[in-house]
Amino acid sequence: MSGCDRWGRDMHVIAVMNYKGGVGKTTLTANLGAEVAARGHRVLLIDLDPQANLTFSLYSVEQWREELRKDTTIMRWYEGEAPGSEVELHDLVVTPPLVNEQLADSGGQLDLISSHLKLIDIDLRLAARLGGGTTLTEAKRKFLDLHGCLARALRHPEFQKYDLVLIDCAPNFGLVTKTAIVASDHVLVPAKADYLSTLGIQYLVGNCDELVAEYNDYVNHGSSGGSIGQIETRFLGVVFTMVKIYAGKPIGTQQYYMEDVRTNAEMTVLRSVMRDSPRHFGDAGENGVPAVLRAPVTDDVAVEFRRLTTEILDGIQAGSR
């Protein structure tokens, strides 16, 4: 897939998630979004992590404080009486200047809904809202309302101009993350090829499947209050990140864990990997432009990353047939 042709169907939404912290979720999200935009597409990034690393990779902390913090972060949308009661989601979209200057000739655009450090308080408040139903029907309606809130908001016509929405999730399975899963048609799981990072993958797949099954079960049994109908969330697969390449191959210990996930996790493992390259990916947050757009076109790591992007886009198209 290349060039500026539209994909000929509705926008795709991918949640980038792993319970494990520091596995490269944000770096992958920023670079994937930038590369897809550079191919002439309209991409929206949603930062759902209170650490706000994705936001700070596209805006300086000072810019965020002055221009975004008060009115233009995802926290404003989740807080209040109910998600979306204070502000429309599409009113929070901003266009980070530096990266979009770089994208000017491509015909693509990279937009962002920024995060806020206080998003960390929102999970508990949302969870409290799930309680208090007096009947089973009411409890199910609340469940659907709350878990489906982001999915419903993304159905607004304002978002139809996007080809791809990438949601950078926090390393947890709290309510905010769950709203991202329900809103996504695909889940991408970045993982380091080591014991601790691969340990949780099966658990993660199980929890996501359970959430989707519960949601659809409630929809099936008529608790449709504000719901968006059945959801279909598919795993695009595991992307190994920070892979140390030696003599053209991943080093032995990493190969072992990659093989282990391929054999045991019952989910796709992408052929392409994101190699460990502190020179390219170690400074997220300082330049306002993701590494894949800063590197020379012939740079090996950028070439590899473009291959990974193509594999992910092919996976989306295969999944949507």
Question: Binding to Mg ion by residue 115, rule CB under 5 A?
Answer: no
248-277 binders of ligand ATP (CB under 6 A): 274, 276-277
How near is the Cβ of 170 to Mg ion at its closest, in Å? Answer: 7
Which of 81, 278, 297, 321 lies at the binding interface for ligand ATP (CB under 6 A)? 278
How near is the Cβ of 26 to Mg ion at its closest, in Å? Answer: 3
Question: Binding to Mg ion by residue 53, rule CB under 5 A?
Answer: yes
Question: Binding to ligand ATP by residue 281, rule CB under 6 A?
Answer: yes
80 binds, among Mg ion, ligand ATP, none (CB under 5 to 8 A by kind): none
How near is the Cβ of 235 to Mg ion at its closest, in Å? Answer: 19
Question: Binding to Mg ion by residue 178, rule CB under 5 A?
Answer: no
Which of 49, 79, 123, 163 lies at the binding interface for ligand ATP (CB under 6 A)? 49
- 3-state SS, one letter per residue, for the chain: CCCCCCCCCCCEEEEECCCCCCCCHHHHHHHHHHHHHHCCCEEEEEEECCCCHHHHHHCCHHHHHHHHCCCCCHHHHHCCCCCCCCCCHHHHEECCHHHHHHCHHHCCEEEEECCCHHHHHHHHHHHHHHCCCCCHHHHHHHHHHHHCHHHHHHCCHHHCCCCEEEEEECCCCCHHHHHHHHHCCEEEEEEECCHHHHHCHHHHHHHHHHHHHHHHHHHHCCCCCCCCCCCCCEEEEEEEECECEECCEECHHHHHHHHHHHHHCCCCECCCCCECCHHHHCCCCCCCCCHHHHCCCCCHHHHHHHHHHHHHHHHHHHHCC
Which of 34, 42, 53, 77 lies at the binding interface for ligand ATP (CB under 6 A)? 53
171-200 binders of ligand ATP (CB under 6 A): 171
How near is the Cβ of 287 to Mg ion at its closest, in Å? Answer: 17
199-258 binders of ligand ATP (CB under 6 A): 241-242
- Which stretch, 19-27, 93-101, 126-134, 285-293, contacts Mg ion (CB under 5 A)? 19-27
How near is the Cβ of 28 to ligand ATP at its closest, in Å? Answer: 7
Binding site for ligand ATP (CB under 6 A): 21-27, 49, 51, 53, 171, 241-242, 274, 276-278, 281-282, 284
